[in-house]
Amino acid sequence: MGLFKGSGVAIVTPYNDDLSINYDRYVELLHFHLENSTDAIIVSGTTGESPTISDDEKLKLFKIAVEEVDGKIPVIAGTGSNDTMHAIHLSKMAEEIGVNGLLLVTPYYNKSTQEGLVRHFTAIADEVNIPCILYNVPGRTGVNILPSTVAKLADHKNIVALKEASGNISQIVEVARLIPDDFYLYSGNDDHIVPLLSVGGSGVISVVANIIPKETHDMVMAFLNGDIKKAAELQLLAKPLIDSLFIEVNPIPVKTALNLMDMNVGSLRLPLIDMSEKGKVVLVNEMKKFGLI
């Protein structure tokens, strides 16, 4: 079984002025999502600035999420790495804390062959007893998990889903064709939610859900409940807002958006920097159109 159906938020990591993690604000964000129909919390993903968060910080974020969410929805920990042994260590620690599943990005920089990907993900999944979600985002990692590789990994009892962010609809359709019925497919691109659902997807692991959690949940649920027209309308309505969240490197725009909504999530750790004034004009314009500010 997959972990959830619907909208999982790739939650931001809020910072204080000195760029230490603002754990109090993080608790507030978790409750904001519980109150606004978010279906799962994904901690320490790309949007959570995982590359610049220490292991100790990650484990604390996982622990707080598990405690605050209190079993209401799944908590999924981003524990992937380009170092297989490190990913195993972090995954086992996250499992001990009580997370409901793991999000495992493909190795990056040192990369891997397709057979290397099979061995990497298998090695991690062998060491835990909770569901694992593969994460394919070749635009960031330089590595693409081919559909045939996904199908092979789907045989593992602990590998239950794929977050697909290749942006390649042909590839997504081929993955959907090859995976078993009990394997979940999640969109990793907010502008592809409905297209991916149309070939059997189960939901999204979302950036835009940080600012419009209810609408993102409603989009997925409308589709899954058979109201294709409403789902498509919500997808198209959100498209300009979604585009504005990616005019600079994620999560720069979405943290800017949350700050504009008085959510006070702070700045970003280098090498990420604050949004340009030019970019902010575009973002503000789309947020106003959507009624967010």
Report the catalytic residues: 135, 163
Contacts of 76 (CB under 8 A, 6+ apart): 3, 8, 40, 41, 42, 43, 99, 100, 101, 102, 103, 133
Rounded-to-integer distance, Cα 237 and Cα 208, Å:
13
Question: Do residues 17 and 52 touch, judged by C-beta distance below 8 A?
Answer: no
Joined tokens for residue 229:
């027209």
Phi, psi (5° rounding) for residue 7?
Answer: -110, 110
Question: Do residues 249 and 272 touch, judged by C-beta distance below 8 A?
Answer: yes
Rounded-to-integer distance, Cα 184 and Cα 73, Å:
17
The total number of residues written for the chain in this structure = 293
User: Which sign does the torsion angle of CA 95, 135, 273, 255 carry?
Assistant: negative
Q: In sequence order, which ranges of 70-133 are alpha helices (DSSP H)?
A: 84-97, 114-126
Beta strands in the chain (DSSP E): 6-10, 40-43, 75-78, 101-105, 132-136, 159-164, 184-187, 203-206
Question: Do residues 15 and 22 touch, judged by C-beta distance below 8 A?
Answer: yes
